[in-house]
Amino acid sequence: MSNRIPEDHQAKTAKASRKAKLTAHRGLATWGEKLVPLGEFRRAVDGAGRRLSDAQRDAAIERFTAPVGDGVPVEGPYRRVAVCGGVYANAYALEALLDDARRRGAEAIYCLGDLGGFGPQPERVWPLLVNGGVRTIQGNYEASLASGRDDCNCGYADPRDNHYAAISYRYTAQHSSPAFKAWMGELPERRRIRVGERELLLVHGSPRRINEFLFASTSPVDFLELLVAQNRCHGILCTHTGLHWHRRLPSGADVINAGVIGRPANDGRTAVWYAMLGCGTDGTLEVEHVPLSYDHQALARDMRREGLPEPFVETVLTGWWTTCLEILPARERAAGRF
């Protein structure tokens, strides 16, 4: 009983102080940690910052969004090209891709990086890429492995996502030879190709950052137009998110996320996806997202034998993501099962 009185008293003062808080700001502004008369704050704010003229503003925006040259040579021209995103050590899918793309008449095959991670025995994809003549750029995985970084730099923010990413990265780093890592370090960060009349920039995440996520539902048209204009091209190909999409911009430029062939696209199908590019009759780019079936049972078997996490295996067998979920925007998240 004896401690009831102070508790009551505490509750009362808490209530009183809360009430005081609700009304504390009448006529006052918060300046840092203090309350000052509202007029004083407003006067200080009015004088703060820059106030450019309209012409200066236009010039400032123009400078800020000015194009940046990269001096990357243009490969091609091609009439038909296959482009795949992350391989994630899925040698079965890579073999299937080489067959499928040739059968569909691809003159060249490009890979946008992230050769390892997720899957088993990462070094198996190396001879397939080299012998298959696949023109590859660096993903964040290659950049990290080649430089000896202690994480994959995938760009996750959630602890569970990071936990699984760390398992993949440790496994991949341990199962990649120094020679393979050195080869990764030699890969270019970006390439440019010509398909018909169109010059396309190939990057891993985005033209700005190797680990930037370009999702369909969070990549505004005006933002993509700016990327295209700043990089002086007719289109951009990227991967890194694991989800494929294509948007033709009002300017006629194309932005294509090729998806990945390493794991399914969180759509309940076991197939993986790559992109086929061709010349349209009217000079435009033809873009097709191609589903690719491969021996996913064999992949799952190998992953289990290597002791890789069971949630990864589940994704291979069901087509639903079980990890990396927290990076997904609302719309992409809602489309999956987990």
Give dist(CA 55, CA 53) in Å, integer.
Answer: 5
Q: Could you give the maximum distance between any two Cα atoms of the chain, in Å?
A: 89
CB of 126 to another protein, least distance (A): 29
Name the site residues for another protein (rule: CB under 8 A). Answer: 14-15, 18, 21-26, 29-34, 38, 41-42, 44-45, 47-52, 56-58, 60-61, 63-65, 157-159, 208, 215-223, 225-227, 325-326, 329-334, 336, 338
Q: Which residues pair with 245 in a beta bridge?
A: 257
Q: Which of 201, 187, 204 is nearest to 277 (CA)?
A: 201
CB of 205 to another protein, least distance (A): 13
Tokens encoding 227: 């990327």
The tokens describing 267, both together, are 């759509």
Of 51 and 103, nearer to another protein (C-beta) is: 51
Nearer to another protein (CB atom), residue 1 or residue 334: 334
> CB-wise, 255 or 300, nearer to another protein?
255
Task: Report the alpha-carbon angle 54-59-65, nearest 5.
Answer: 125
- Shortest separation between residue 223's beta carbon and another protein, angstroms: 5
Q: How far is the CB of 104 from another protein (least distance, A)?
A: 30
Q: What is the DSSP string of 241-290?
A: SS--EEEE-TTS-EEEE---SSS--SSS-S-EEEEEEEE-TTSPEEEEEE
- Of 62 and 186, which has the nearer Cβ to another protein? 62
Among residues 45 and 298, whose Cβ is nearest to another protein?
A: 45
Please state the closest distance from residue 143 (CB atom) to another protein, in A: 13
